[in-house]
Each structure stands twice: as C-alpha cells, then as structure tokens.
Chain A
C-alpha cells in the first residue's frame, strides 16, 4: 500500500449459455490485455448468476459478453437484471458477436451500452471502452 501502483481497467469477458463459439471472446480478451487492461475470462457455458457473481467479486469496470448462438436476447437482460438487483450500477456493459440489427435496440434498452458485430475493429472497441468506463 505504501508504494503507489495506480489503477487498471478490469474487464470480465463472459460467455453465456450453451454458446460454444469462443474465438471472438478470446480475440477480444487478448486485445484488451495488449491494451493494458486486466481481463478475467469466465470460460464457456456460464449461467447469468455465475457471471454476475464473478463481476461483483472481481470488481470489474466492464462486463463484455460475446454471443454467437442467439440467446443474447434472454441471457444478457437476465444478467443485467441480476447485477442491478445486487446494486451494481457503475459497470459498463458491452455485447458483441452475431447479434441481428433488429435485436440491438432491445439490448440497448436493457442496459447494454453498445453492440459490436462481426468485423469490428479491435482498436475501436478498446477506444470506446476506455472512454466509457464509469469510474
């Protein structure tokens, strides 16, 4: 404690449900690490309850959900609901992967800040995250 160390942005990269596509999640995790962030990766097949618990215990600034199997419409709002119930309101929520245009507004409505689709520029993701962390 006596030595100053300074703060690092901490990101939880999460995969929810039965979705087995982890390439995108790993690409994004690595990009965050290379940008100097600390990344906690949940691994595949997580329940929203487990992701919410991890977000709280790890005290992350960002929860980044990667979804390519179509369950985002249900699982991401569930996760956000669980976080809110436990009083978490200062975490930036991002989503990415295969999320059809017309499902984006519902996610934004639920509390996701931005959705990044296939081919998203990694630098733009980093840039956006840096500028929008809430604390």
Chain B
C-alpha cells in the first residue's frame, strides 16, 4: 500500500471515532512518517473547532495535577477533553521518562478524555516539534477542549502562546524567582494566571505581586471589560479616556520615571518607545480601554490543585476568555494569522529543500560549499547563485 492509501485508511478510522487510530496518527506525526503529511492533508478541513488551552509554568508547579482537575471539570460541563503533555528528552541518550500521566488519575478510563505524553525530542522550545500537528489531529477528532502542558522551561512561553488560544500561567507561592520569571516575559503571555499550592504560605503575596504588575499594563476589572462609547464625566487618570491618550501602562511608566528626576528627553522617549512596543502587543492580545473597545484583564486565581479547590473558577475564566476572543473577532483573526504563518513556514521549508536537492543533484552544492569553506566565495553570493540556477524550476 502507498503512504497515501495507508493515510486514507487511518483517516476513515479516525472519522469513525477509533481511539487506536488516533493514537497511531499521533505516532506517525511524531516520527515524521511518510504517511503523516498525507494524513494531515485529509485532517485539515476538520480542524479549527477546539478551544486550545496552554498550561505553562515552572517545573513542579502542579501543572499536571491542575490539568487533571481541569479535565474533570470540563467533563462535568459536558465537554470532551484531549490532553497533550510534553516532557524533556534526555540530551545524553535521546530517551525520556514521561511522568505527567502519574498525576492524571481521575479521568484515565473516561472515554471522553484522551491523554498523550510527548517527548520534546531535542527541541529546546518546551513543546515538541510535532505538538502543533498533534493538536490538529485531536481537534479534527472532535475534542471540545485541548489542554497542552508544556515542559515549563526555556522558550516554551512564546511557543505555547503561538499554539494556544488561551494561555494559563501557573506559579506557586514562595519561589522568589518566579517573580523574576514573570518580569522576564511570562506576564505578557498569560491570559489567566493561577497561583497553585495556595495551601502554602505566601500565596496572597504572590497574587498581589502579579496583580500589581498586571495593573501597569491593563485597565479595568479581571476578565472582560466593555468600555462605554463615551467616557464618563470627569474621569481622572483611571478613566478610559485618559488611558486612550497613551498606550496602557506607558503613562504609569513615564510617571514613575519622572519621579526619579534624573532623565533626559531621550530617556523618556526611549521609555515611551519601549512601553509602546509592549503595549502594542498587550493591545493586540487584550484590547485597549479606548471608548467602545472590549478589553481583557487577565485574572489571577488561587488553586489547591491537589484537592481541586478553585478549579471551577479557573474553568469559568477560560470560558470567559474564549467569549472575549469570539466577541472581539480575535478568534477569526487568529485563524487568518495562523494560516498565513503556516503557509509561510511550509513554503519556506519546501522551497529550501527542493532548491538544495536540485543544487546537490547538479553537483553545484558541493562545489559552492567548498568554495565558501575555503573563503574563495562568500556565502551570500553562493546562496544567490544557487537560487538563480536551481530555484523554482
């Protein structure tokens, strides 16, 4: 049988709801099997329905324990759930111990839940390279919600933000470091913040610190804010109209800088410029407090995942964020953006591979590589030459 035929056969089984076929499809994707691309072609039209939720945070924060509880709560609300949990691969052996399943005991034999462990397989980003395509297959299979747990280190934050509709950042009290991590970028990516292990000392302090940092960049109450078309009478610095003059957060940052007293106009401009970039990102993701706009202020919640405390509130907020995405057109816009990115990526990969294959077959590649290595030719000219002679033929 040809790979296309094997893919078609597996696809038919997938459509009939065969979970073994689903598991095998994921294996194909992970292994980069020949059948995988053919299968993904068939699967694609069925994707785009599921709510993809990313769960990220430092190692041991309780992500898996929380995911198990979130899955139970989603089931109680009548939704089917797929879970993808990524663990690191040993850089020495290429092997991995995938331990997230140990914490996921509540829903193991529930036919409405499917859980798969993935090894990062040398990928440094905190997701496995196949995660996006694995999510596509789960989406096509018909799961309502897909929970993706990241490795929790490295660049996983940025990657999970690109993959998930809603990103849930899990922290724990009393780490100290965690606030550093938040400053270093987690704050920008979270749609919902969870302080887990709230049974431990210091949870309130951690929550307060995150709230304060969020206040620098966001206006309004936790959750959805619908700003009136006309600003309220006599609103001061807190009014939406004041927020509209500068990007959210920029005015606060400027005021703080101003208080320090020693800065030049250039400093201020730089500060404003910096805040503007961060603010542009925040505005794109979470909206602004401009009159008539709808914005999202990430909520900060406390949970004790091991006892299930606070989990319902987390699911409420995940749902509310989905409402925000749909109501503001972000859900649709996101599809457009994802499609563009994916196409760009695939065309780039394929064009590069095809061009290099031709150059290699013609013997040019080897020749040019040698010339570049011996410093007789610079790599830029060599690349131009390859493209001139072998691209798009």
A5, A29, A35, A50 pick with most chain B CB within 10 angstroms: A5
A33 touches B32 (CB 8 A): no
B102 touches A38 (CB 8 A): no
Residues of A within 8 A of B19 (CB): 56-57
CA A43 – CA B114 in complex, angstroms? 18
CA A37 – CA B30 in complex, angstroms? 14
Least CB distance from B28 to A in Å reads: 9
Is B29 in contact with chain A by the CB < 8 A criterion? Answer: yes
Is B386 in contact with chain A by the CB < 8 A criterion? Answer: no
Residues of A within 8 A of B24 (CB): 59
A39 touches B95 (CB 8 A): yes
Residues of A within 8 A of B109 (CB): 47, 49-50, 53
User: Which interface class (under 10, 10 to 19, 20 to 34, 35 or more) fits B?
Assistant: 35 or more
A1 touches B93 (CB 8 A): no
Is B67 in contact with chain A by the CB < 8 A criterion? Answer: no
A35 touches B30 (CB 8 A): no
Given contacts A1-B40, A3-B129, A6-B31, contact A54 B101 (CB under 8 A): yes
Residues of A within 8 A of B114 (CB): 57
CA A57 – CA B244 in complex, angstroms? 50
B98 touches A40 (CB 8 A): yes
B227-256 vs A, CB cutoff 8 Å, 1 = contact: the mask equals 000000000000000000000000000000
B115 touches A57 (CB 8 A): yes
A42 touches B95 (CB 8 A): no
Is B225 in contact with chain A by the CB < 8 A criterion? Answer: no
CA A88 – CA B19 in complex, angstroms? 11
B-contacting residues, A9-28, CB 8 Å: 10
Is A118 in contact with chain B by the CB < 8 A criterion? Answer: no
CA A40 – CA B26 in complex, angstroms? 15
Least CB distance from B84 to A in Å reads: 11
27 A-B pairs in the complex with CB atoms less than 8 angstroms apart: A1-B29, A1-B133, A2-B346, A3-B349, A5-B129, A7-B30, A8-B94, A8-B95, A29-B97, A30-B97, A34-B90, A35-B93, A36-B94, A38-B96, A39-B96, A40-B98, A41-B97, A41-B101, A41-B102, A47-B109, A54-B115, A56-B19, A56-B23, A57-B19, A57-B116, A58-B116, A58-B117
Closest 5 CB pairs of A and B: A43-B102, A33-B95, A59-B23, A7-B31, A5-B32
Chain B positions within 8 Å of A, measured between CB atoms, are: 19-20, 23-24, 26-27, 29-33, 36-37, 40, 89-90, 92-99, 101-102, 105, 108-109, 114-117, 119, 121, 129-130, 133, 346, 349-350, 353
